[in-house]
Amino acid sequence: MNSRVTRWSLTSSTTISTTAFAVLLIIMISGCGSSLPDASAVRKQMTAEQLAVAEPVVNSIGMTLVPIPAGEFSMGTAAPTDTKAKGGKKAELPPGAKAEQPQHKASITKPFFISICEVTQGQYEQVLREAPWKGQPLTIEGKNIAASYVSWDKAVEFCKKLSELENVRYRLPTEAEWEFACRAGTTSAFSLDDGGKLTDYAWFDQNAYKDGEQYAHAAGQKKPNAFGLYDMHGNVWEWCSDWYGSYADRIAKNKNSALVDPTGPTKGWQHAWRGGGFAENPSNLRSACRNSYGRVDYRPEFMAGFRVVKEVDSVK
pLDDT in tens, 263-283: 999 999 999 999 999 999 999
At residue 3, does pLDDT exceed 70? Answer: no
Q: What are phi and psi of 140, to 5 degrees?
A: -125, 170
Q: How many CA atoms lie within 13 A of 46 on its CB side?
A: 25
Q: What is the pLDDT of residues 42-80, one digit of tens each?
A: 999 999 999 999 999 999 999 999 999 999 999 999 988
Question: Could you tell me if residue 88 is inside a domain?
Answer: no
CATH label of the domain that carries residue 215: 3.90.1580.10
Residue 36 lies in a domain: no
- Output the pLDDT for position 258: 86
Say what percent of the chain tops pLDDT 70. 86
Domain holding 116, by residue range, is 42-81+94-314
Domain-located, residue 12: no
Q: How confident is the model at residue 315 (pLDDT cuts 50, 70, 90)?
A: low
Q: What is the pTM of this model?
A: 0.88
Whether 21 is in a domain gets the answer no
Is 210 a member of any domain? yes
Express each pLDDT in 206-235 by its tens digit: 999 999 999 999 999 999 999 999 999 999
Report pLDDT digits (tens) over 106-126.
Answer: 999 999 999 999 999 999 999
Is pLDDT above 60 for 29? no
Instruction: Say what the pLDDT of residue 298 is.
Output: 93
Residue 76's pLDDT is: 97
H helices, E strands: number in the chain: 7, 11
Query: For residue 37, is pLDDT > 80?
Result: yes
Q: Cα(165)–Cα(294) distance, rounded to whole angstroms?
A: 37
Do residues 102 and 247 touch, judged by C-beta distance below 8 A?
Answer: yes
Nearest to 281 by CA among 266, 263, 298: 298
Mean pLDDT of the chain: 88
35 found inside a domain: no
Please check whether residue 10 lies inside any domain of the structure.
no
Quick one: what percent of the chain has pLDDT higher than 90? 77
How many domains does the chain divide into? Answer: 1
| Spatial separation of the C-alpha atoms in residues 247 and 251, rounded to whole Å | 6
How far is it, in rounded angstroms, from Cα 311 to Cα 88? 49
DSSP 271: E
Evaluate whether residue 134 is within a structural domain.
Answer: yes
